[in-house]
Amino acid sequence: MFWLKAVVFKGPGHVEVKHVDMPTLGPRDILLKVKAVGICGSDLHTYRTGLYAFPSQIMGHEFCGEIVNFGSEVGGIRVGQRATGFSVAYCGQCFWCQHKQFRLCPHLFENYTGYGRPGAMAEYVKIENAVVGENLFIVPPELSDEEAAMAEPLGTALYAIARTKPTAGDVAVVIGAGMIGNFIVQGVKKIPVKQIIVTEVSAAKIQWALDAGADIAINPREVPDLLSAVQSVTGIGLHHFGTGAMADVVYDTAGAEETFNDALGFVRAGGKVALVGLPESPSTVDVSQIIFKDVRIVGVLGSIIPRGLEYLARGWVKTSNLVTARFSLSEADNAFRTMMDAPQGMRGMLLPDEN
């Protein structure tokens, strides 16, 4: 029997590095040796509250690995190539599958790497039903392992931009300047929009956002009234029965009740709000602003990973200094505790143990 080392979620505030069975490959599966895996926001939500995972789940879904074995029906790859991707399977029977909206299949996460299927916080990870260009993506040789592991969160940022379609004359507000917020700044800068405003409480993340191309950064803790501070930049946006700001598009990457309501205040009548950050509890929202402003609100579920790899390979997005802490796989519990207690940090990365 062969074993591999993996980070297993045991319950809120508790992960454990354990030896588990090496996965068995079917004809459409591949096995990758993990080179780098990020600790993302949803992983921290899981660690803190137990959301999105069950006890005994192997965590991790943003990674880079080296192909070491694959089934007979997998084509277009070879041993030694680096890749990223995810296991996925859809029920094929639900309303959304019948309408080819597969990402909305209610059974998707039951079969997804790091959620229902074993994740990449391990020495090896299996990708089931691997199809190059669909759920398996070859990493360009010019990218480092850590850069490639960031293609998934970058793909989420690019999906948020695709959902909102900002134009060159737009003013954009990004709430929260963590990794995905930083990537949104870089992505909309490339369009380029007219102006990018960031709101963020971390001084370090504010500086990273400015380095990434934000025009103005506002720390909510340093102004008497956040809406007034945004209005001073965008102008005052009158709307039916109220007054707000004049942002054309707002990206809420923080995912808190307060920030969602902030977003509704910042956006102009007829503007767009993208909800990117994951909340840990239900929110009370000022629905009247949605109605009176006729705001388009979009949820952002998914990632355009191949586009993320392309942006990284072309140098359109910079990742230098965004990995602020590195840990060996065996240090996973300390890694989670450190990232939970490091509000100035951007991204923690788990790397293979040194043999």
Amino acid residing at 112: Y
Let me know: does 82 contact 148? Beta carbons within 8 Å. Answer: yes
Q: If you search the block for the tokens 């069975």, which residue do you land on? A: 21
Let me know: does 132 contact 273? Beta carbons within 8 Å. Answer: no
Average pLDDT value for residue range 23-45: 96
3-state DSSP assignment of residue 134:
coil
Q: How many CB atoms lie within 10 A of CB 325?
A: 16
Q: What is the pLDDT, as a whole number, of residue 230? A: 98
What pLDDT, in 10s, does the model give residues 108-153?
999 999 999 999 999 999 999 999 999 999 999 999 999 999 999 9
Q: What is the pLDDT, as a whole number, of residue 49? A: 93
Q: Which residues contact 35 (CB under 8 A, 6 or more apart)?
A: 63, 64, 65, 66, 82, 145, 148, 149, 351, 352
Structural domains in the chain, sorted by start: 3-150+319-351 (3.90.180.10), 155-299 (3.40.50.720)
Question: Residue 299 corresponds to which tokens in the numbers above?
Answer: 């949820």
CA distances 25 to 109, 200, 211, Å, are: 20, 45, 44
**pTM of the entire structure?**
0.96
Examine the pLDDT at 5 and tell me if it is beyond 60: yes
Helix 257-266 vs helix 226-234: angle between axes, to the nearest 10 degrees?
A: 30
Mean pLDDT across the chain, nearest whole number? 96
Go through the chain and tell me how many residues it has. 355
Using alpha carbons, select from 270, 258, 314, 274 the residue that is nearest to residue 181. 274
Provide the terminal-to-terminal Cα distance of the chain, rounded to the nearest Å.
20
Q: What is the pLDDT, as a whole number, of residue 355? A: 61
Examine the pLDDT at 31 and tell me if it is beyond 90: yes
What pLDDT, in 10s, does the model give residues 263-302?
999 999 999 999 999 988 888 999 999 999 999 999 999 9
DSSP collapsed to 3 states, 31-46: EEEEEEEEECHHHHHH
Question: Whole-angstrom Cα distance, residue 42 to residue 46?
Answer: 6
Q: What is the pLDDT, as a whole number, of residue 2? A: 79
Average pLDDT value for residue range 39-61: 93
Q: What is the DSSP string of 40-91?
A: -HHHHHHHHH-TT--TTPBP--SEEEEEEEE-TT--S--TT-EEEE------
Average pLDDT value for residue range 72-87: 97
Question: Whole-angstrom Cα distance, residue 226 to residue 68?
Answer: 52
DSSP collapsed to 3 states, 142-179: CCCHHHHHCHHHHHHHHHHHHHHCCCCCCEEEEECCCH
Q: Which residues contact 98 (CB under 8 A, 6 or more apart)?
A: none
Q: How many CB atoms lie within 10 A of CB 181?
A: 28
Question: Whole-angstrom Cα distance, residue 189 to residue 17?
Answer: 40
3-state DSSP assignment of residue 244:
strand
Using alpha carbons, select from 206, 182, 227 the residue that is nearest to residue 320. 182
Q: What is the pLDDT, as a whole number, of residue 344? A: 83
